[in-house]
Structure 1
Amino acid sequence: MTLFSQTGQAKREPQTKVRYSFLYSRKIAPYLFISPFIISILILYLYPFISAVKMSFERVLPGQVFFVGLDNYERVFNPVFFRALQNTSVYVLLTVVILTVIPLILALMLNHRLTRFSNFFRAAIFIPALTSVVVAGTVFRLIFGESDQALANQFLSLFGASALDWRYGSATAMFLMVAMASWRWMGVNIIYFLAALQTVNKDLEEASQMDGANAWQRFRYVTLPAIKPIIVFLVTISIINGFRMFEESYVLWETSSPGYIGLTVVRYIYQQGIRNNDMGFGAAVGIILLLIIFIVSMIQLYATGAFKRED
């Protein structure tokens, strides 16, 4: 009995060693660790994407599906879509500039050694990102109301200006959407820049200062190259999020905006696909939007040198 148990244990030990060597091998272990991420991508992203591409060639009705070929794509390029694309493009351009330049300036100020209570400001600026977009939209609608009693109009009256219908003008409507997005995400980008500024080589900064470089020269030739990766990252994320914007438009104009002044591409997809029950056409608009985001992102990454190899 003892000999049998020793023999069985001796057989199990090589099998256990083979199993552990297989799981912890350099060829298998990396794929094993990233397998949950790959599975989640396949289930949550790849399958919906394939379904959306398939649906864009169909006309989907309750209980009925018809293949219509390229008819949905031919209907995409209409005046309403171009107005939504124009609004979205202006929104993307403004948010990219504002959410890159201003957070960088504020991060440089907070990172300066002479700035007092920097830890308090670092915590406070992150609070807007935790605010619900519905709550933020409600507050903005109260502040920028069309009545004379609205806070923004009362402020204008101090300078003798007349009250504005903030949500019903083309320029002011865009201002509200950009202002809400900037208010919510400004603190997040500042945190990113603050983290990037910690990686700047202090010895190189001191050496450049000793060589007579002024503040602007130190920022341009020392700080800026060090934080360039985070700038490229934030610009890319801002472009993608800008084209995907839906919440700001929806909370400011629950039904529809006059003259499509607040219409974005994603809201156009929602109106056509969900409200008008035209899922095939909505899927076609979504695929066009995906291509636009991909092309713009590739151009931006190429222009900023993200594809260049570092020597």
Structure 2
Amino acid sequence: MIKRFLYSQKVAPYVFVLPFILVFVIFWAYPLASSFSMSFQKLTLGQEPQWVGMDNYAKLMGDGIFLKAVINSAVYMVLTLIILIPFPMLFAVLINSKFMWGREFFKSSFFFPALTSVVVAGTIFRLMFGEMEGSLINSVLGYFGIDPVKFLKGQVTGYIALVALATWRWTGVNMLYFLSGLKSIPDEYYEAASIDGATRFQKFTQITMPLLKPTTIYVLTISIYAGLAMFIESMMLWNGNNSPKNIGLTIVGYLYRQGIEKNNLGYAAAVGIVLLAITMIINLTQLTFSGMFKKED
């Protein structure tokens, strides 16, 4: 009886989607609803929650440290987008070229950093960008007669270290996304363009880039989220969540500071909801302008 019920044409589709629905409700919908409710409360461990309405959000708008974290995350996101979309695309085109030798070696080399633990990578980059003369970057600068730079104590130089770490870790991942997109472009398009006398640059701008649009939008979407949600890289680079003058503080880092370090869970929940809202607004805006929501004729 049960077997016949599960295998019936009406019930079977619901059985197949049930695991996804359970995971979605338990690990996304319920935590989101709980966080949204907590953001309207004054909540600390060991005490009864108190309903405070919009007080947490009003406090956020006047919180200079939070605004600093938002600016840091936004700048980091923009810098990573500038680097981690065009360059992986170009590398993918080069590796996908018929004249490229050792392509499997380059694929592995570019992807290998993504397999490295962010804790290990962050520690290595902290040593590389250290202010001592013996650190790797300052040793290189010393060959050109440049005095040691305190990279992790300045706003601009701190961004350089963070973006360098992100570039090293994620270039290969985005490159593989673009490589998968290139595989879906028929060779006949390039052959026809060659017959018409198109140059390589024209093939890239008139064939490759337009047909890579779905992949580019996907990479852009996940990169926006990754940029705004960055935390562990900053924490490892500055060996903690307290960088000089908060130059490395991110939105998630501020959430961690309020929720875990200061036990201010209600305020931290408000930070998380604002982060979700910012991410959704940016991504929905770029998806709208890219035409992803337009109905096909």
Aligned to 2:99: 114
Say if 2:161 is the partner of 1:176. Answer: yes
Using the TM superposition, give the Cα deviation of residue 310 of structure 1 relative to its aligned residue in structure 2, in angstroms.
Answer: 3.5
Say if 2:264 is the partner of 1:278. Answer: yes
Using the TM superposition, give the Cα deviation of residue 29 of structure 1 relative to its aligned residue in structure 2, in angstroms.
Answer: 3.1
Using the TM superposition, give the Cα deviation of residue 201 of structure 1 relative to its aligned residue in structure 2, in angstroms.
Answer: 1.4
Aligned to 1:100: 85
- 2:70, 2:64 → 1: CA distance? 10
Say if 2:251 is the partner of 1:268. Answer: no
- 1:229, 1:31 → 2: CA distance? 30
Using the TM superposition, give the Cα deviation of residue 16 of structure 1 relative to its aligned residue in structure 2, in angstroms.
Answer: 8.4
- 2:259, 2:38 → 1: CA distance? 11
Which segments of 5 or more consecutive residues in structure 1 lack a partner in the other structure?
1-14
* Contact kept? 2:241, 2:249, Cα under 8 Å: no
Aligned to 2:36: 53
Using the TM superposition, give the Cα deviation of residue 24 of structure 1 relative to its aligned residue in structure 2, in angstroms.
Answer: 4.7
- 2:233, 2:281 → 1: CA distance? 24
Identify the match of residue 162 of structure 1 among 147, 150, 154. Answer: 147
Structure 1 range deviating more: 152-161 or 217-226: 217-226
Q: How does 1:245-264 map to 2 (within 5 A)?
A: 245-253=230-238, 254-264=240-250
Q: What SS is found at the alignment partner of 2:278?
A: helix
Deviation readout 1:199-219 (Å, 9 max, x if unpaired): 111112111110121112211
Deviation readout 1:159-179 (Å, 9 max, x if unpaired): 111110010010011111111
Deviation readout 1:49-72 (Å, 9 max, x if unpaired): 111011111111323211111111
- 2:237, 2:47 → 1: CA distance? 34
Using the TM superposition, give the Cα deviation of residue 274 of structure 1 relative to its aligned residue in structure 2, in angstroms.
Answer: 1.1
Say if 2:174 is the partner of 1:189. Answer: yes
- 1:255, 1:48 → 2: CA distance? 24
Residue type at the aligned position of 1:168: K
Aligned to 1:11: none
Q: How does 1:235-250 map to 2 (within 5 A)?
A: 235-250=220-235
- 2:17, 2:132 → 1: CA distance? 55
- 2:126, 2:107 → 1: CA distance? 27
Aligned to 1:150: 135
Residue type at the aligned position of 1:294: M
- 2:112, 2:204 → 1: CA distance? 29
Using the TM superposition, give the Cα deviation of residue 30 of structure 1 relative to its aligned residue in structure 2, in angstroms.
Answer: 3.0
Aligned to 1:67: 51
- 2:145, 2:294 → 1: CA distance? 54
Q: What SS is found at the alignment partner of 2:146?
A: coil
- 1:158, 1:303 → 2: CA distance? 47
Identify the match of residue 202 of structure 1 among 173, 176, 187. Answer: 187
- 1:255, 1:40 → 2: CA distance? 31
Aligned to 1:291: 277
Identify the match of residue 228 of structure 1 among 205, 213, 216. Answer: 213
Number of equivalenced pairs: 294
- 1:280, 1:96 → 2: CA distance? 32
Say if 2:16 is the partner of 1:38. Answer: no
Deviation readout 1:24-43 (Å, 9 max, x if unpaired): 52x54333212101110100
Which segments of 5 or more consecutive residues in structure 2 lack a partner in the other structure?
none
Aligned to 2:204: 219
Deviation readout 1:167-198 (Å, 9 max, x if unpaired): 00100111111111111111111111111111
- 1:140, 1:247 → 2: CA distance? 13
Greater C-alpha Rg? 1
Q: Percent identity?
A: 43
